[in-house]
Amino acid sequence: MSKLGNIPVNAQDGKKRTNPLAGVFDELVQFCQSRSMFMLHYCTGCGAIELPPAMTSRFDMERLGIQPMVTPRQADILLVTGYVSVKTLKRVILTYEQMQSPKYVIGICSCTVNGGMYWQSYATAKVLNEYLPVDVYIAGCMPRPEAVIEGMRRLMRNIEDGKGNAWKDYFQRYDYYLGNQQHLFGNDWQTPTDIIGEARHYGLESEETYGEHTKILEQHQQPLEPYKMRIKL
């Protein structure tokens, strides 16, 4: 998987391949991925109230293969369900960076799109996709469970068609996202995840991975050390 960026993901670009079986495996993987989605719902705002009906027996998201997951390390979708305050945004980014690729972000409610009814608030971040690559926005204040499920199905279609590649954007344009994060959190902002190292590992680094903001990060970066296990008596 070290050269994930070089694997042609879009198999339906109309060009005839020399090996007719070349795209089959990709399509199979995409099909399976889109049918088995574990979502981490980061319930920040009021939109979370629409998720229990969407998940439980009335609308039943599990019939589409979407299930809740309790830990970011095993989740595919990060569901941000409402306004994100600046303080919460730090935690959202930490959570997002812990997830394994491929990972998808869905922003629910108007607040994640453009601040919503908190547009005037000094404490909430307005446009979520400045800080994280968002795959699908579900607008509404709040969207009904039908709309949530429709958004999920849109994401499933995107993955099946090979268009759900926003997570690669985070590696490829890390400098842009990091710059927006530093604008809010200050120049000494650092996450425990080594994004540049991961980008190198996946083979997803591009020219825009590095820039002035990653230079600032290098200046302030504390070396990452494993957390010492201690038993407190």
Partner 1 sequence: MKCDEINAWLDALLSEINEIEVTRKSERRVRVDVPASSLPALLELLKGKASYVHLSAISCVDWPDDEEFELVYHCWSYEAKSLLSAHTRIPRNSSEEFAHYVSVYDIYKPAAFFERDIYEMFGVYFESSPYMEKFILTEWNGPPPMRKDFNAEAYVNDTFSWADYHPQWLQDIEEEGGGIAIRPEDIRL
Q: Are 84 and 116 in contact, with CB atoms under 8 Å apart?
A: no
Whole-Å CA distances, 68 to 71, 124, 177, 208, 218? 9, 26, 27, 34, 36
Which listed residue (120, 222, 223, 233) binds partner 1 by CB under 8 A? 120
In the complex, the smallest distance separating the C-beta of residue 146 from partner 1, rounded to whole angstroms, is 9
Site string for partner 1, 89-118 (x = CB under 8 A): -x----------------------xxx---
Query: Cα 219 from chain centroid?
Result: 27
For the beta carbon of residue 64, count every other beta carbon within 10 angstroms. 15
CA distance 38 to 68: 6
In the complex, the smallest distance separating the C-beta of residue 175 from partner 1, rounded to whole angstroms, is 17
For the beta carbon of residue 108, count every other beta carbon within 10 angstroms. 30
Which listed residue (121, 193, 206, 214) binds partner 1 by CB under 8 A? 121
Choices 3-11, 92-100, 163-171, 183-191 (CB under 8 A): range interacting with partner 1: 183-191
Cβ proximity to partner 1: between 79 and 125 the closer is 125
In the complex, the smallest distance separating the C-beta of residue 229 from partner 1, rounded to whole angstroms, is 27
Q: Are 40 and 135 in contact, with CB atoms under 8 Å apart?
A: no
In the complex, the smallest distance separating the C-beta of residue 192 from partner 1, rounded to whole angstroms, is 18
Cβ proximity to partner 1: between 98 and 121 the closer is 121
CA distance 45 to 79: 11
141 binds partner 1 (CB under 8 A): no
Torsion angle, CA of 177/182/188/190, rounded to 10 degrees? -30
In the complex, the smallest distance separating the C-beta of residue 63 from partner 1, rounded to whole angstroms, is 20
Cβ proximity to partner 1: between 129 and 214 the closer is 129
125 binds partner 1 (CB under 8 A): yes
Cβ proximity to partner 1: between 94 and 123 the closer is 123
Q: List, in sequence order, the alpha helices (H) in the chain.
A: 22-35, 51-55, 86-98, 110-114, 145-160, 166-172, 174-185, 195-202, 212-220
- In the 3-class helix/strand/coil scheme, how is 17-73 assigned residue by residue? CCCCCHHHHHHHHHHHHHHCEEEEEECCCHHHHHHHHHHCCCCCHHHHCEEECCCHH
184 binds partner 1 (CB under 8 A): yes
185 binds partner 1 (CB under 8 A): yes
**Count of residues binding partner 1 (CB under 8 A)?**
21
150 binds partner 1 (CB under 8 A): yes
Which residues in this chain contact partner 1 in the complex, by CB under 8 A? 86-87, 90, 113-115, 119-123, 125-127, 129-130, 147, 150, 183-185
